[in-house]
Amino acid sequence: MAIKEGTYNLTASSGKLSVYTFKEGFLSAVAHDLLIEVTNFRVALNIPAGGINSASVDAEVQANSLKVVCAMKEGQHRYDLLKEKDKTDIEEATFKDVLHPHKYPTINFRSTGIQEKEGIYHVKGELTLHGVTRSVEFDAQPTEKGLKGKITLAQKDFGIKPYKALLGTLKVKNEIEVVFDLLLG
C-alpha cells in the first residue's frame, strides 16, 4: 500500500504498540519472556504533498500505560503461564523499578528524516525515554491497511537498569523490542 498524503492521528484504537522483554540469568528457566501492550499512545503522522521524504512522525506514550498481556515461550503467546496477580506484580515492578512514570510520565519520539527505499520507509529520529534523548532508526513497512515495524532498544542507553531479582540470578536482558502495527484507514 502506498501511503496517501494527509495527517493521520493514531491511538491504541488504531492498532498495536507492543514491547517484548527477554529473560536471562542463572534462574532464567523459571522466568518468562513477556509481551507487554502499550494502552495509551498517540502518533501523529503527517505526509505533505511533497511525499514521504517530507513526512514527519511525532509520538507520545504514557509511561504508566504498559500492561502485561502474556508470557512468551519459543516465540508463542502463552496466556496460561501467568496469573492475573503475576501480571499485576510485573507491572508494579516495571513502574517502581524500571520506568518511574511519576518522574518521567511520557516517552516521546520525533522524526528527523524519513526515506523510502524499495517500498520500505527508513525513519530516523530522537527518542526521549526515562529523561534521556537518543537518536534511533527503524524501518516501517507498509501493509495492506497501514504500517508495521520493529525497533530494538538498549535500556542502558536511556539510563534504565534492566530489572533483576533474586540477587541478579534472574534478569531482563538489556535489549527490548518495540513492535508496532498501525492502521491508517
Q: Is residue 68 part of a domain?
A: yes
pLDDT at 167 over 60: no
Q: Is residue 72 part of a domain?
A: yes
For the range 75-83, what are the long-range contacts, defined as Cβ-Cβ under 8 Å and sequence gap of 24 or more? Answer: 77/35, 78/32, 81/32, 82/32
For the range 82-87, what are the long-range contacts, defined as Cβ-Cβ under 8 Å and sequence gap of 24 or more? Answer: 82/32
Q: Is residue 65 part of a domain?
A: yes
Rounded to an integer, the average pLDDT of 175-179 is 96
Q: What is the CATH number of the domain that holds 29?
A: 2.40.128.110
For the chain, what is the domain count?
1
Cβ pair 40, 99 in contact under 8 A: no
Domain with 113 in it:
6-183
- Model confidence over 66-75: pLDDT tens digits? 999 999 988 8
pTM, to two decimals: 0.90
Cβ pair 123, 139 in contact under 8 A: yes
Q: Is residue 1 part of a domain?
A: no
